[in-house]
Amino acid sequence: MAGTTQKRWTSGNAKSRRGTEDPWYIRWILIGIAGFFAGVFLVLPLANVFGQAFAKGWQAAFGSLADPDTIAATKLTALATLVSVPLNTVFGVAAAWLIAKFEFRGKAILTTLIDLPFSVSPVVTGLVYVLLFGLRGYFGPWLDQYDIQIIFAVPGIVLATIFVTFPFVARELIPLMQAQGSDQEQAALTLGATGWQTFWHVTLPSIKWGLLYGVILCTARAVGEFGAVSVVSGHITGVTDTLPLRIEKLDKEYNSVAAFSIAALLAVLALLTLGLKTWLEHRQQRELDLAQTSSDSPDEH
């Protein structure tokens, strides 16, 4: 035993170099291929968005964003996002609490069902809501009687966005809360805190970064959703066009600068999302590390 340890200490360095590192030429070939691939598929498409948006100068680009229909689309996208993200956040917290803190029958099935919207094609999502609320859908005639329009109107767009972004927060929180366990909550309850007090003062602070991470992913998807929204929208300019739908319309009208200006706006949003995501991953890793060494008392609060 001692012999092997010694051997590793003395000759370990040179050995491990030969055993686990690739020769320099392989390294550089692989890095080159990776760089080329990332360049063609990630960097160039991004650069192209801005290149095309500013192809006719800054003023043309910013001017096209001030178009009333584009502004209406911005408002609709903001509305759909502001409704769907909070709803799915509350759901995500409730679902994660349920799945991470309790044992019950059918838990595995429930977890799979929550992921379901990820595997449904966006167009199918849209179709499903048309079948429910469209004029020829299950509730269509009844809704029509009361003059409520869901399909080809704003409510349909909001509903489709909720469906598509449904799993994001739950998916982030479930593994995090499972890793954290429930010792701290039990301690708080033992000390006489009520359930809600425990949730607000113990659980929520310890999951805040993971929660924010899920909310950001959810927001990015809500803003960018295309297929599902496209089916239920009806494409009424200035009324039921979201920003991504507006891009499609402008592109079809060969208004390249306007289409790419909106695309550039959304690309900036995507880059911001990436930046925040990287930063939060960092924080979340610390949260998880804290959870794993949970015997240490948390220094916050």
Query: Which residues from 90-129 bind another protein, rule CB under 8 A?
Result: 91, 94-95, 97-98, 101-102, 104, 110, 112-124, 126-129
The pair of three-digit structure tokens given for residue 266, joined into one six-digit string: 């959304």
Is residue 178 within the footprint of another protein (CB under 8 A)? no
> Please, which residue, 20 or 293, has the CB nearer to another protein?
20
Size of the site for another protein (CB under 8 A): 99
Which one of 67-75, 171-179, 205-213, 221-229 is the stretch in contact with another protein (CB under 8 A)? 221-229
Is residue 259 within the footprint of another protein (CB under 8 A)? yes
Which one of 65-73, 142-150, 224-232, 285-293 is the stretch in contact with another protein (CB under 8 A)? 224-232
Euclidean distance between CA atoms 209 and 219, whole angstroms:
15
Is residue 141 within the footprint of another protein (CB under 8 A)? no
Contact 88, 218 (CB under 8 A): yes
Euclidean distance between CA atoms 45 and 6, whole angstroms:
53
How many degrees, rounded to 5, is the angle at CA 161 between CA 81 and CA 131?
150
Euclidean distance between CA atoms 7 and 1, whole angstroms:
10
Candidates 65, 69, 199, 238; binder of another protein (CB under 8 A) is 199
The pair of three-digit structure tokens given for residue 92, joined into one six-digit string: 């995500």
- 91 φ/ψ sector (left φ>0, alpha ψ -120 to 50, else beta): alpha
Euclidean distance between CA atoms 237 and 56, whole angstroms:
25
Euclidean distance between CA atoms 105 and 262, whole angstroms:
48
Is residue 220 within the footprint of another protein (CB under 8 A)? yes
Residue with tokens 């706006």: 265
The site string for another protein over 268-297 (x = CB under 8 A, - otherwise) reads --xx-xxx-xx-------------------
> Please, which residue, 40 or 236, has the CB nearer to another protein?
40
Backbone Cα Rg of the chain? 25
Candidates 5, 6, 51, 282; binder of another protein (CB under 8 A) is 51
Distances 112 to 107, 109, 178 between C-alpha atoms, Å: 9, 5, 16
Residue 290 beta carbon to another protein: minimum distance, rounded to whole angstroms: 19
Residue 298 beta carbon to another protein: minimum distance, rounded to whole angstroms: 18
Residue 123 beta carbon to another protein: minimum distance, rounded to whole angstroms: 4
Candidates 65, 72, 189, 257; binder of another protein (CB under 8 A) is 189
Euclidean distance between CA atoms 191 and 189, whole angstroms:
5
> Please, which residue, 94 or 148, has the CB nearer to another protein?
94
Is residue 185 within the footprint of another protein (CB under 8 A)? yes
Which one of 67-75, 140-148, 253-261, 293-301 is the stretch in contact with another protein (CB under 8 A)? 253-261
Is residue 25 within the footprint of another protein (CB under 8 A)? no
Q: What is the per-residue DSSP string for 136-201?
A: TSSSHHHHHHTT---TTSHHHHHHHHHHHHTTHHHHHHHHHHHHH-SHHHHHHHHTT--HHHHIII
DSSP label of 120? S
Candidates 70, 180, 206, 230; binder of another protein (CB under 8 A) is 230
Is residue 48 within the footprint of another protein (CB under 8 A)? yes
Is residue 155 within the footprint of another protein (CB under 8 A)? no
